[in-house]
């Protein structure tokens, strides 16, 4: 397998975590987003949306991090990134989608560059935009974790160590990159006890450390 990705890309980071959880080897192919390498003909030929990550498997090119992770989970089911039961899978997917579909889109690099370049917003306004969408999303995530904690208690289940249960799931694959970027942009993270506890627990796992941007070959200060 080959992973076309960028060390700081949240979506790429998600897939790297999943690959590390599964213990899967892959070739790391860097695509520098800030330099616009995703728009080069070679990358555009394998990624119609001109984004990362792209996972190359047996001559096929898979795009979109959530689809890639679920592909990996189906092809390499142990250890699983989704619970065995339908309710658990729906709850984990909901958490993951709160990040991937709600928080991440308005705060990704393309949007921030558009704010600055096309809409002539200065750094102060760009930062305020990022803080608003990231913080409000994390507050919603915290509320959802509280709902799930209450649900687990009603069903006699132990409190979650990570976002859901006692092992990394698709939700953690999404939360880790989101908090990493929130910290980069100095988003206030107080008042999120369940979210930050799940993040800290996940961050200590070997898979998270292996996939961390600081461990990537294309890392830059």
CATH topology of domain 86-205: Glutathione S-transferase Yfyf (Class Pi); Chain A, domain 2 (1.20.1050)
- Indicate the domain borders of the chain: 2-79+211-215, 86-205
- Taking the C-alpha atoms of residue 194 and residue 160, their distance in angstroms, rounded to an integer, is 9
- The pLDDT value given to residue 221: 61
What CATH superfamily is the domain 2-79+211-215?
Glutaredoxin (3.40.30.10)
pLDDT along the chain (221 residues), means of 10: 97 98 98 95 96 97 98 98 96 98 95 96 97 98 98 94 98 98 97 98 98 96 61
| Alpha carbons 71 and 81: distance in angstroms, whole number | 11
Residue count of the chain: 221
């Amino acid at each position: 397998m080959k992973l076309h990705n960028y060390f700081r890309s949240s979506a790429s980071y998600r897939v790297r975590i999943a690959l590390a959880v599964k213990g899967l080897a892959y070739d790391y192919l860097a695509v520098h987003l800030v330099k616009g390498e995703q728009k080069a003909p070679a990358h555009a030929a394998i990624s119609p949306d001109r984004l990362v990550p792209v996972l190359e498997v047996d001559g096929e090119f898979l795009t979109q991090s959530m689809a890639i992770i679920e592909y990996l989970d189906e092809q390499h089911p142990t250890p699983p990134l989704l619970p065995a039961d339908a309710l658990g899978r729906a709850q984990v997917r909901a958490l993951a989608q709160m990040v991937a579909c709600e928080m991440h889109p308005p705060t990704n690099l393309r949007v921030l560059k558009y704010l600055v370049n096309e809409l002539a917003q200065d750094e102060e306004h760009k930062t305020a935009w990022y803080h608003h969408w990231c913080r409000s999303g994390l507050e919603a995530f915290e509320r959802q974790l509280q709902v799930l904690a209450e649900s687990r208690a009603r069903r006699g289940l132990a409190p979650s160590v990570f976002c859901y249960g006692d092992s990394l799931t698709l939700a953690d694959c999404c939360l880790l990159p989101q908090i990493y970027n929130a910290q980069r942009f100095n988003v206030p993270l107080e008042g999120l006890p369940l979210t930050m506890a799940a993040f800290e627990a996940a961050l200590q796992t070997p898979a998270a450390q292996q996939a961390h941007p600081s461990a990537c070959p294309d890392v830059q200060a």
